[in-house]
Amino acid sequence: MSVLKISDVTKVFAAGNVVAVDTFSLDVADGELVCLLGPSGSGKSTLLRMVGGFERPTGGLITIDGEDITHLPPEKRPTGMVFQSHALWTHMNVFKNLAFGLKLRRIPADEIKRRVEAVLELVGLGGYGTRHVNQLSGGQQQRVALARSLVLEPKILLLDEPFASLDQHLRERLREEVRDIQQRLKITTLFVTHGQDEALSMADRIVVMRDGKTEQVDRPDIIYREPQTPFVAGFIGTMN
C-alpha cells in the first residue's frame, strides 16, 4: 500500500530558468525507507522540500493517504523534515526545542512532557532535556533535530543529508541508529543523500536522480549488482 504518491512533479526556478525537478514520479509504501541518491544539483533537496511544503511545485500532484497535499503549507502536512543544517534554537534547552511545535498544536503540558521524554529516550538522549543545545556535540545536535521532527509524530519523515557535516565514523553510527529507529517506528521515510555507501546500506529502495529525473529505481542489492548509472557504477568500481 503506497502512502506517499508523487505524480509528474516539476519545479522550474524562473530565476536562472532551471528545471530542478522534471516530471518526477514515485510511490512510497507504508513503512518504507527510500533514499534519493544523486550528485549535487540533481534536484534531491528541491523534491524533498516540495514534499515537505517548503517549495511550491510548478506542476504535478503529491498525495499522502490519498489526500492532495500539493499546495498545503508545511504545518498542515503530516510530514516532519530534518534539514542539512539542523537550525535548532541554540538559546533554548533541548526540552524547549522539542516542546515548541507541540505547544503550537495546543497539546496539554503533561502530554508534551511525556512525548518529549519518550522521544529523547528513543534517540539516545534520555535525561538531556535541560541541556542547552550549544553545549552538545554535532552528533547530539543532529539527534535533537531528528527528535524534534519525530515528536510531532509525522506520517512521513523527510531527511535532507542529515549527517553531511559529521565525520565518517559518527556518520556510520548515526546511519545505523536512524535505520533502527525508523524500523521500530515503522515510519515512512525519504532520505536524501549524495553518499552512495549511505544509500546502499540504509535503503529499502534507492532512487538514483540526475537532472531532476529518475535514472534508476531498485532495491540496493540490485543497484549494487546492476548499476545503470555512472554515478553508482563509478563508486562501486572504486570499492572493488
* H-state helical runs in 105-239: 109-122, 138-150, 168-185, 196-202, 220-225, 230-239
User: Can you tell me which of 28, 35, 45, 47 binds Mg ion, judged by CB under 5 A?
Assistant: 45
If the CB atoms of residues 113 and 213 are measured against ligand ADP, the closer one turns out to be 213
Q: At closest approach, how far in Å is the CB of 45 from ligand ADP?
A: 3
If the CB atoms of residues 16 and 73 are measured against ligand ADP, the closer one turns out to be 16
Select the span of 37-45, 66-74, 172-180, 212-220 touching Mg ion (CB under 5 A). 37-45
If the CB atoms of residues 28 and 192 are measured against Mg ion, the closer one turns out to be 192
In whole angstroms, how large is the CA radius of gyration of the chain? 18
The 10 Å Cβ neighbour count of residue 84 is: 14
Which of 193, 191, 190, 197 minimizes the C-alpha distance to 234? 197
If the CB atoms of residues 36 and 147 are measured against ligand ADP, the closer one turns out to be 36
Which of 47, 135, 56 minimizes the C-alpha distance to 88? 135
Return the one option of Mg ion, ligand ADP, none that residue 20 interacts with (CB less than 5 to 8 A, by type): ligand ADP
What CA–CA distances, in Å, run from 192 to 42, 122, 136, 157, 189?
Answer: 11, 22, 24, 11, 10
Residue 69 to residue 78: CA distance in whole angstroms: 9
Is 188 a residue that touches Mg ion (CB under 5 A)? no
Q: At closest approach, how far in Å is the CB of 173 from ligand ADP?
A: 24
Q: Where on the chain is the footprint of ligand ADP (CB under 6 A)?
A: 13, 15-16, 18, 20, 38, 40-46
Q: Where on the chain is the footprint of Mg ion (CB under 5 A)?
A: 45
